[in-house]
């Protein structure tokens, strides 16, 4: 696990992608790894921003973010995704830090957790995933009558892992040819397959338009079918 940053540290990243009117995404290099990591930002009705899996950005992108809304909620999605949490809290002291109950102890080694079950609004929702020992959750964002889901490590879609490091991680099960609860995900996140499968199936609603995650390519077509298939193969 990479050491958490003490100062604002920016790694190469792409531009801000406007996924929907109230959901943005940024893809960045992951230090020392052959895969990327993604931050998602949801805008609530009051203009507050929910930061999921925080990543430090360049000044221009941070100004763009601040012009869009006020950073209000910082979701640290699990105990392994704490790297930028302290520097975001230092930059925005009024941020409320959220983490799943089962990850709270690990997250609090880096930053104090304010809530484990936040009440956001009717367009942005966060819930803990069943069958994970409360170690991981999912953010649900409703835009234009459609649902977008943002996972962390509970499901992956890593289709390209370059280099020798990528080859080795592919052997370890990180690479997949479709949306999948990978072997590393099952080992680190899933404690009760039946309960987790049932929760994924409930999330696979007919209005599901898109699935994002902390690592991997977003699913933008037939998202509901892809999630049901991933659940069935668990």
For each of the chain's 234 residues, which pLDDT tens digit applies? 568 899 999 999 999 999 999 999 999 987 666 568 899 999 999 999 999 999 999 999 999 999 999 999 999 999 988 999 999 999 999 999 999 999 999 999 999 999 999 999 999 999 999 999 999 999 999 999 999 999 998 988 755 644 544 444 443 445 566 688 887 788 789 999 999 999 999 999 999 999 999 888 899 999 999 999 999 988
Output the pLDDT for position 171.
39
Output the pLDDT for position 54.
97
CB 92 within 8 A of CB 65: no
CB 196 within 8 A of CB 137: no
Output the pLDDT for position 160.
60
Q: Which pTM was predicted?
A: 0.91
For the chain, domains (ranges, CATH) are: 17-232 (3.60.15.10)
Output the pLDDT for position 215.
85
* Distance from the Cα of residue 83 to its chain's centroid: 13
**Nearest alpha carbon to residue 25 among 230, 224, 211, 221:** 211
Output the pLDDT for position 166.
43
Q: Which residue, chain included where needed, has tokens 């020798």?
A: 164
């Amino acid at each position: 696990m990479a050491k958490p940053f003490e100062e604002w540290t920016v790694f190469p990243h792409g531009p801000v992608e406007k996924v929907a009117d109230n959901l943005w995404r940024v893809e960045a290099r992951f230090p020392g790894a052959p895969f990327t990591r993604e931050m998602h930002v949801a805008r609530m009705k009051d203009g507050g921003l929910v930061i999921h899996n925080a990543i430090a950005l360049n000044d221009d992108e941070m100004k763009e973010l601040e012009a869009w809304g006020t950073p209000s909620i910082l979701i640290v999605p699990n105990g392994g995704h704490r790297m930028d949490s302290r520097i975001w809290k230092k930059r925005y002291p009024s941020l409320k830090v959220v983490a799943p109950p089962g990850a709270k102890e690990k997250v609090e080694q880096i930053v104090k957790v304010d809530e484990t079950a936040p009440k956001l609004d009717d367009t942005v929702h966060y819930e803990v995933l069943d069958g994970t020992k409360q170690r991981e959750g999912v953010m649900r964002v409703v835009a234009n009558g459609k649902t977008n889901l943002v996972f962390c490590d509970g499901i992956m879609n890593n289709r390209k892992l370059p280099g020798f490091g990528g080859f080795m991680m592919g052997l370890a099960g990180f690479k997949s040819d479709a949306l999948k609860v990978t072997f590393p995900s099952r080992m680190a996140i899933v404690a009760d397959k039946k309960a987790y499968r049932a929760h994924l199936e409930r999330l696979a609603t007919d209005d599901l338009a898109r699935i994002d995650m902390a690592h991997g390519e977003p699913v933008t077509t037939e998202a509901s079918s892809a999630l049901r298939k991933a659940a069935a193969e668990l």
